[in-house]
Amino acid sequence: MLDKKNEGKKGITGQYAVADEELIYRFQNGDVYAFDQLVYRYKDPLINFVYNFLGDRIDAEDVVQETFLRVFKKKHMYRNIAKFSTWIYTIAGNLAKTELRRRRRRRIMSISQIGYDDRDYDIPDDMLTPDKKVNSDINEKSIREEIQNLPAKFREVVVLRDIQEFSYEEISDILKIPIGTVKSRVNRGRSRLQKRLKYLLDK
């Protein structure tokens, strides 16, 4: 049996001394300390994924909390035929999509509640020139906004591939869609971002 002190530490190869699958197995057998280790390993990668997908820090933290609660409650549903990371990302992804749907419903409701007289109109500001928008070489805020403007199906694959650096095969496992579909969505998502952010990327 491995030393508990080294469970949370990465080795020279960047891998943890104890695999995630071993930790979840221990947790399934009643070792709550193993669950703590999984939280420690996955809290930051998951917040990155969900935050970049939802674009809201507080909502993202809530979704990640809910993800760990699900893992805790449904631990026996994990079968050692898939990687633990795939399983937990699938849970987080599904919860994030649910949150997105909830937001859409809220938005529709709030629009329908606006009366004729108190309707507000947002006029898009087309007068902003690229140089006004850019504070430094790369305006992170603009890029984050453009990521949020991508359709959800492109956004999730771009985040998983280019921010989280998952392989196409892993993304296919997480989202339960064919690899070909993943590749095509990544390409289309990137191309859309490239078109919208040309003024920043040319610098």
Partner 1 sequence: MSPCQGYRDKIHDLIDDDLDGMETRHVRDHLRDCPDCASYFNQLARLRSILKGFGQTSTSPNFQVVLRERLRREMAGKKDPWVVYVGHPRRWVAVAGVAVVLVTSAFLVLNNRQVLMPGAAERSAGMHAPAFQSAAADEHIEYVSSESRGRIRVARSENKAAARPAKDTLAVQASPEEPQYTITPVSF
Could you give the string, one character per residue 136-175, with x where binding to partner 1 holds by CB under 8 A and - elsewhere?
--x-x--xx-------------x---xxxx--x-------
Residue 138, sorted as left (phi over 0), alpha (psi -120 to 50) or beta, turns out to be beta
Nearer Cβ to partner 1 (81/187):
187
Residue 114 has φ and ψ, to the nearest 5°, of: -75, 125
Residue 2: which region, alpha, beta or left (left: phi > 0; alpha: psi -120 to 50)? beta
Stretch that binds partner 1, among 12-20, 62-70, 117-125, 170-178 (CB under 8 A): 62-70
User: What one-character-per-residue DSSP string does 31-80 give?
Assistant: -HHHHHHHHHHHHHHHHHHHHHHH--HHHHHHHHHHHHHHHHHTGGG--T
Q: Does 57 bind partner 1 (CB under 8 A)?
A: yes
Give Cβ neighbours of residue 133 (< 8 Å, ≥ 6 apart): 139, 142, 199
191 in contact with partner 1 (CB under 8 A): yes
The smaller minimum CB distance to partner 1, of residues 52 and 86, is found at 52
What residues form DSSP beta bridges with 183?
none
Q: In this structure, what is the dihedral angle of CA atoms 20, 26, 30, 34, given to the nearest 10 degrees?
A: -40
Q: How far is the CB of 162 from partner 1 (least distance, A)?
A: 4
CA 84 to CA 5: how far, in whole Å? 21
Name which position in 22, 25, 28, 39 contacts partner 1 (CB under 8 A). Answer: 39
How far apart are CB 69 and partner 1 at their closest, in Å? Answer: 6
Least CB distance to partner 1 at residue 46 (A)? 8
Residues contributing to the site for partner 1 (CB under 8 A): 36, 39-40, 43-45, 47-48, 51-52, 57, 61, 64-65, 68-69, 72-73, 138, 140, 143-144, 158, 162-165, 168, 183, 186-187, 190-191, 193-194, 197-198, 201-202
